[in-house]
Amino acid sequence: MSAVFHWRLQVRPQQLSCLHTSASLESKEWEKKNKKVFPPQLPDEPRRPAEVHHSRRQIKYSKDKMWYLAKMIRGMSVDEAVAQLEFNDKKGARIMKEVILEAQEMAVKHHNVEYKSNLYVAESYSGKGTYLKRIRYHGRGMFGIMDKVNCHYFVKLVEGSPPKTEERTSLDHAKEYVQHLKNRTIIHSL
Amino acid sequence: MAMPMRRTLVVLHRATCRRLTNAEASLDVRQPVPLFVPVRTKKRYFIPPAVRARAKPEGNMEAKARAAGIVNRQENYERPINISCTAGIFDPYIPPEGDARLSTLSKEGLKQRGEQIKQSASSQLAIRKIKEHDSLFTTKTFAERAQEIFVEAHNALTQFNKQKIHSLVTERCYPEMTRGNRFKTIHWSFVESLEPPRVVHARCPDMVSKGNLYAQVTVRMHSKQTLAVYDRFGRLMLGSEEQPKDVLEYLVIERHLVNPYGQWRLHGKIVPSWAPAKDPIIKTVMIPGPKLSAVQELDAVNFEVPKPEAVQWYK
């Protein structure tokens, strides 16, 4: 059962040039966002809120497990997020708390943020780091390829109070559905 | 996956065929298969790199790297020293108390204005030494030139033109001017000069070896300037665009006399001890309080924020 060489099924060299053009192993795009300088604001413009981007790379944890914690603190104020992570039992929570405190300190020292509590978590997510592959031995000479996982964690703190998300109850959803049904009509009819 | 099974089947078939004689082959009689059949374990198609890399590299790594053409940067254990400027201000000028506070029409004001540099002998000596190396040096023209250097350097700072700033400002002064300014926007303008700039002080120290002369001349400048500093997000941090301020400054200009390509460059500023406090920044800053033990309480009513003592310092 030898593999038949189908040229069309494989990727042509011309197509190869457009693969993997943006992200590479050493790309530090998130950190570069801290270097962007905005032009001076005119006095009648609303005050632009300060933003701080921070990340930690190659954390020895799973990106899927990290995602749960990252999703939990999205939209929280910094103090609330730190409190929640401090009393969470997961390993990733301790690392995330360190990252957020570092980001807060950076914001006050270098990015002209006035009050360190006046920050909220605007974006927070985890990404895949480099994986090391090892053999996991099973019985009967079988083996599995074990992945030693690493992940990155990215967080963006913005100055100001956290935005209020409007809570929609199930009744609101039901009303909207009924209204949608009532809005149905037949166009171009007599 | 089919390959190992096929191989085993082929071997088994061969084994059976060998045993069968011609007569038996026609009758299709099978003898029992020999017990000793080379059956392979499941072939590992993928071996992770860590298993293969157990063998430690032997031989001369240096020679191999050289053969491969890999160049490693040499680690420098030396620290570079810059000799085109001195590290500080030698024998700094102490500005008299109340300079530029008194009106020029009063008696004290006239005395101050009439203060000639001829009072200080060492300054005269220094100026004589400078004239030996640079014959076109006069205090009047130099004062004008100093102001020009100052204005050009600050204009280059607003545009952040590194090459130009380095040519107008010494290496000692450059980090003081530009620290923390990389991600900020600075709007500075020189409105007018209130008094003509004057040379008030001069010194000619020689560093390390005798004859290696550097000249440091202090120029007094009273002028109107506007300054507005914006942070990374375009928000005003300090100063204002429209409101000009009166500024009395003592600039120190330096030149390496022995060097034929030496230029007069801004070396630093002298801030007198009686200088008025600067405007506060548009931000609340937390000053850490005194360290208390677990039992003590902070006396907020009687607590005074510690103020720095009034000392002359040079920037």
Q: Residue A162 pLDDT > 80, yes or no?
A: yes
Residues 168-187 on A with a CB inside 8 Å of B are none
Task: Give A50-103 pLDDT, tens digit per residue.
Answer: 999 999 999 999 999 999 999 999 999 999 999 999 999 999 999 999 999 999
User: CA-CA distance, A4 to B281, in Å (whole number)?
Assistant: 73
In this predicted structure, what is the pLDDT of residue B286?
79
Query: What pTM value is reported for the model?
Result: 0.74
Contact at CB, B185 and A40, closer than 8 angstroms:
yes
Flag whether residue B292 sits within 8 Å of chain A, measured between CB atoms: no
pLDDT surpasses 90 at B70: no
Task: For residue B195, give the nearest of B243, B141, B249, B268 by alpha carbon.
Answer: B249
The answer, yes or no, to whether residue B23 has pLDDT greater than 70, is: no
Please judge whether B235 and A47 are an interchain contact, meaning their C-beta atoms are less than 8 angstroms apart: yes
**A 111-130 residues with CB < 8 A to B:** 111-112, 114-115
Asked whether the predicted pLDDT for residue B114 surpasses 50, the reply is yes
CATH class of B97-269: alpha beta
Q: What is the ipTM for the molecules in this complex?
A: 0.77
Residues B237-254 as b or e (16 or more Cβ within 10 Å = b): bbbeeeebeeebbbbbbb
Percent of chain A residues past pLDDT 70, beyond the cut: 88
More confident residue, A155 or B16: A155
What tens digit of pLDDT does each residue of B91-105 get? 888 888 777 665 555
Residue pLDDT, tens place only, A100-121:
999 999 999 999 999 999 999 9
Mean pLDDT over the full length of chain A:
90
The reply to whether B187 touches chain A by the CB within 8 Å rule is: yes
User: A52 CA to chain B: closest CA distance, Å?
Assistant: 11
Partner-chain residue, chosen from A37, A48, A145, that has the shortest CB–CB distance to B48? A145
Confidence of residue A22 (pLDDT cuts 50, 70, 90): low
Amino acid (one-letter) located at B93: Y
Minimal-distance CA residue of chain A relative to B186: A40
Token digits of residue A37: 């300088």
Partners of A50 on chain B (C-beta within 8 Å) are: 231-233, 235
* Residue B217 pLDDT > 60: yes
Give residues 132 to 151 of A whose Cβ lies within 8 Å of B: 132-135, 140-143, 145
| Tens-digit pLDDT profile for residues B199-214 | 998 999 888 888 888 9
Q: CB distance B232–A132 less than 8 Å?
A: no
CB atoms within 10 A of CB B235: 18
Segment B16-43 shows an average pLDDT of 61
CB contact (8 A) between residue A134 and residue B50 = yes
Domains annotated on chain A, with CATH: 49-183 (3.90.470.10)
Please tell me which residue, B308 or B30, carries the higher pLDDT value.
B308
Instruction: Say if residues B30 and B16 touch (Cβ distance below 8 Å).
Output: yes
Select the more confidently predicted residue: A133 or B22: A133
